Amino acid sequence: MIDMGLYRRFYRQRHTSSSGAGDGAICEVSTLSTSLSTNSNNTLRAPVLHRPEKTFCRRLRHHGVSMEKIMLSDIFTDEAMHRPIFEEPSDASVREDPWSGPQGFMIGGMSLPTLNELSQQYFDAAHLLIESIKNQAWEDYKLVNPALFLYRHALELMVKSLIGKVKTHDLSKLADELNSLAVTKGGAAAPSWIIKRLKEIALIDPGATAFRYAENYNNKQKRDIPVDGEIYINLNHLQRAMLTLYTALSGNLPPIAEMHPLQFPLSDT
């Protein structure tokens, strides 16, 4: 038996700002209070400093730079507040390759992805989150739901790319459709471990809401209910299992192995 008491206490702890800094503080300096995102004391909620931010603050102090010298006008610029995020393409966005810049996103038109490509984007994003945890850039408990949702959605889209667009998010039903397609087109059922893994995920998140909102809709009770019980997920095993499943579904082993090189340790710790 694993004693989850210590894990739960750490997971549920609420981080507080530095002493004397107040709720709205970065590098122990109070920040601007606004009508948005404030608490009962009318101070801006401060983000918990993760490792890169703490390093940034230490560097500032090392060079004798205080946060008071960084004016709020440098943060709340007119461009940051009022420039449209979604803009028409222009010569300024033209580049030779993704690495030379300018870096940015293009959506719509000729940039519309296929389901397969869209699935790959979500899978890559999940992989990056897991790697950031393993590299100790972020604490694991801060990225639980985003990582799980990205993996789940990548799988849903990959299955839909195989069976065709189906108006459902029910991963269990999609797994059944995939199995039926394998029988119809290939003359044999899909590997049982693939269907079993998809249904294992569907048992926790059947309709793509558990990892987004931490709750599932109950058809009998006609309301949303929280995810039941407490469930532990080993990070290394999750990453390996998702890579294995995604590789099997995509049937594209060489590119996957090249883009997501993983060392598979013998231990699951």
Q: Which of 35, 59, 81 is the last residue of a domain?
A: 81
Q: What is the mean pLDDT of residues 119-145?
A: 95
pLDDT for the residue numbered 221 = 77
Q: Higher model confidence: residue 250 or residue 155?
A: 155
Distinct helix (H) and strand (E) counts, the chain: 11, 4
- Model confidence at 155: pLDDT above 60: yes
Q: How much of the chain is in helix, strand and coil states, percent to nearest 5?
A: 50, 5, 45
Longest dimension (CA), the chain: 71
CA geometry: angle 51, 56, 62, nearest 5 deg: 125
pLDDT for the residue numbered 220 = 77
* Domain range enclosing 243: 113-259
- 43 Cα distance to chain centroid: 29
- Tell me how many domains the chain contains: 2
Q: Which of 81, 104, 133 is the last residue of a domain?
A: 81
pLDDT for the residue numbered 258 = 56
Q: Which of 61, 81, 101 is the last residue of a domain?
A: 81
pLDDT for the residue numbered 251 = 81
Q: Are residues 134 and 32 in the same domain?
A: no
Q: Are residues 155 and 247 in the same domain?
A: yes
Q: Are residues 54 and 171 in the same domain?
A: no
- Model confidence at 38: pLDDT above 60: no
pLDDT digit string, tens, across residues 48-99: 445 555 666 666 666 666 655 566 677 778 899 999 999 999 998 888 888 8
Rounded to whole angstroms, the Cα distance separating 21 from 40 reads 16
3-state SS, residue 123: helix
Model pTM?
0.70
Q: Are residues 122 and 177 in the same domain?
A: yes
Rounded to whole angstroms, the Cα distance separating 115 from 83 reads 31
pLDDT for the residue numbered 52 = 57
Q: Are residues 186 and 141 in the same domain?
A: yes
Q: Are residues 117 and 212 in the same domain?
A: yes
3-state SS, residue 223: strand
* CA dist list (Å): 16 to 22, 30, 45, 101: 9, 13, 10, 38
Q: Are residues 242 and 119 in the same domain?
A: yes
The answer to whether the peptide bond before residue 98 is cis (omega within 30 degrees of 0) is no
Q: Are residues 153 and 211 in the same domain?
A: yes
Q: Higher model confidence: residue 53 or residue 6?
A: 53
Rounded to whole angstroms, the Cα distance separating 31 from 51 reads 20
Asked if residue 7 belongs to a domain, the reply is: no
Q: Are residues 122 and 222 in the same domain?
A: yes
- What is the number of other CB atoms lying within 10 angstroms of the CB of residue 127? 21
